[in-house]
Amino acid sequence: MKKYILLTAVFLAAGITGCKKNYLSQEVNPNQPSVTTPQLSLAGALVSTAAVISTNYNEYGVWAGYWTTSGNYVPNQSINEYQFTNSSFDTQIGGLWINLYSNLTNYNTLQTVSAASSSFAYFQAIAMIMKAYDFEQLVDNYNDVPYSQAFKPSSILFPAYDKASDIYHDLGKQLDAAIALINKNTAASNPGSSDIVFGGNMTSWKKFANSLKLRLAIHVSSAPAPLGASDPLVTDLASTAGEGYLDGSTEATANPGYIKALASSGATQQNPFWDTYGLDVNGNPPFNAVYWRANDFSVKFLQNTNDPRVYGFYAPTTGTWPAIVIRGNVFGDVSPNDQANPNTSGIGPGLLKSPSQNTVLFSGAESLFLQAEALLNGFITSASTTPYTTPQQLYEAGITASFVDAQAGGTYTPVPADNTGAPITAGQTPQTPDFVYTPPTAAASQALAVTYYSQNINNVGWAASPNKQQAIITQKWVALNGYFNLEAYNEYRRTGIPALPSSIDPAAISQTLPTRIFYPISELTSNQANLAKEPAVNPFTSKIFFAK
């Protein structure tokens, strides 16, 4: 652990995207904070956060029912058979431990440097909010983690583990304190362009903090006693409800100036999600673009509910030209011929928009669904959710925001090509079709959303759904597709909704989905004495503290 707390700010490992050192990178020594400025520290730390959230949760994407592994490769034992160890996901989930603690070191340094002057109060508040954002991910992955002793390298080389629920409660307090700091220091220096999320709009930062606090409270609200709906995190929601929440017009997105990178530049300047799952700097699909395929569970759910978002979340198969066919793999199916890439869909244009697209840190759709559940259960009042005053209005606004984000209602145009990728000429047989997607207008997506949620289908139409909370969580699951695999799996572990399928791989060691992953090998080797004090992890019976 000590190795990672003392790391310089950004050495983005393979689990992030294999980024090379370039103008988006940040290098800050936490022991020498004077070598940087709050402006540079903030921009670099936010860039790193965007890379982490974009590329580290492939496994959860499979277990959450969105993605599967490609049939072009041998079956993935770690994911499909659940035969994983402390080192299985070192380039993905396990690497997340290192990446997040490195990122947290930068935010902690920013918070410390900014606290020296009230003029930097906004920078301090943003650092506090983003520390809560990162620490929530650590807890949601591993449960108990080092927290209170995590940033004391001069006195504590081997930090103890804090109880997960205690961390959550303190994160709520830190978010309250960040909001109060913003409100108190109205004359503070504005972050301006160094804030690549809101451009210095501190009202939006308060909404982000409040939405994150709401997510923590909703997680805790269904946790076993003594937590639950009477927990202080839930009952304290009213204290900041007046600050508002993210919604369809305001969501937390980061963009430091992503552009289409050229291979000759030697730099990776593209959006990290695009660079990992779309096209690399040479214009070729990287490994992740061909390895992760559509999950039959999600595809069928969307198709059976007449949901046009299926064409945004997933791309057409390439083996059925010129038809527009969306088809997923069944999780754990080991039949390579049926599941080969020409017969299955990859990640779609509603997620892969462009090399310069924003990275979504917290979507307005998710915030609206959180508000809907909170209002339905009486955790907040309609006064704090204006202009939406009922759970139904928030629910339908969440669906609408998701439709716009997923570019629902666009059109595919098949463009045939020969096996070299060049356009076909007369007499040639198309071998590798390419589909050009034309995005819709936001108004067109909004109109489609109304048509969609007006259907008399359970968990789609409000009136047609007898269990309103189930409908909210189901539609939240749909909206989280691709960008927020961890949060979708959190919701499944919290509620059991939707009823996700387990792997059908005959070699799978369990008939149920995992509930936990192991701590990474890096922590096992560097902080073993403190890790040994934690209960042994059973992937199928150990749970994150708020899980069902």
Looking at residue 60, what is its pLDDT? 96
Nearest by Cα to 100 from 39, 163, 45: 45
Predicted structure pTM score: 0.92
Q: Say whether 19 sits in a helix, a strand or coil.
A: coil
- Quick: pLDDT tens for 124-153: 999 999 999 999 999 999 999 999 999 988
What are the structure tokens assigned to 85, written together? 């160890």
Is residue 428 a part of any domain in this protein?
A: yes
Q: What angle do CA 508, 510, 512 make, to 5 degrees?
A: 120
What is each CA distance from 136 to 45, 143, 155, 463, in whole angstroms? 16, 9, 25, 34
pLDDT in tens, 263-280: 665 556 899 999 999 988
Mean per-residue pLDDT for 371-397? 97
The CATH number of whichever domain residue 33 belongs to comes to 1.25.40.390
Same domain, 318 and 169: no
Do 333 and 459 belong to one domain?
Answer: yes
Residue 331 has pLDDT above 70, yes or no: yes
∠ Cα 315 317 323 (to 5°): 100
Backbone torsion region of residue 192, taken as left when φ is above 0, otherwise alpha when ψ lies between -120 and 50, otherwise beta: left
**Same domain as 521, residue 480:** no
Average pLDDT over residues 427-446: 81
The verdict on residue 406 lying in a domain is yes
Residues 238 and 303 in one domain: no
Structure-token pair, residue 539: 């992937």
Same domain, 118 and 154: yes
Q: Quick one: three-class SS letters along 41-70? A: HHHHHHHHHHHHHHHCCHHHHHHCCCEEEC
CB 113 within 8 A of CB 189: no
Are 169 and 228 members of one domain? yes
Structurally, the chain folds into a number of domains equal to 2
| Residues 526, 479 share a domain | no
- Is residue 156 located within the same domain as residue 29? yes
Q: What is the DSSP string of 366-420?
A: HHHHHHHHHHHTTSS-GGGSTT--SHHHHHHHHHHHHHHHTTTT-EEEEE-B-TT
Is 260 a domain residue? Answer: no
The per-residue pLDDT for range 174-224, each reduced to its tens digit, is 999 999 999 999 999 999 999 999 999 999 999 999 999 999 999 999 998
Mean pLDDT lowest among 113-127, 221-235, 312-326, 374-388: 312-326
The domain in which residue 352 lies consists of: 293-495
Q: Indicate the DSSP class of residue 49.
A: H
**Phi, psi at 426, each rounded to 5°:** -55, 135
Torsion angle (degrees, nearest 10) of CA 255, 58, 268, 290: -120
Q: What is the pLDDT of residues 278-291, one digit of tens each?
A: 988 888 899 999 99
CA distance 21 to 178: 32
AA letter at 1? M
Q: Which residues have a Cβ under 8 Å from the Cβ of 270 and sit 6 or more positions away? A: 258, 259, 260, 261, 278, 281, 355, 356
pLDDT of 168 > 90? The answer is yes
pLDDT at residue 340, as a whole number: 85
310 pLDDT band, cuts 50/70/90, is very high
283 in a domain, yes or no?
Answer: no
* One-letter identity of residue 499: A
468 shares its domain with 520 = no
Residues in the chain: 548
In a domain, 540, yes or no: no
165 lies in some domain: yes
Residue 102 has pLDDT above 70, yes or no: yes
Closest to 151 measured CA to CA, from 139, 140, 159: 159
The answer to whether 516 and 544 have CB atoms below 8 angstroms apart is yes
Q: Which residue has the higher pLDDT, 447 or 282?
A: 447
Phi, psi of 258 (to 5 degrees): -60, 140
Residue 179: count of CB within 10 angstroms of its CB: 23
Residue 276 in any domain: the answer is no
Same domain, 428 and 389: yes
Is 221 in the same domain as 330?
Answer: no
Is 160 in contact with 146 (CB distance < 8 Å)?
A: yes
- Report if residue 184 sits inside a domain: yes
Q: What is the largest CA-CA distance in the chain?
A: 75
220 & 297 share domain: no
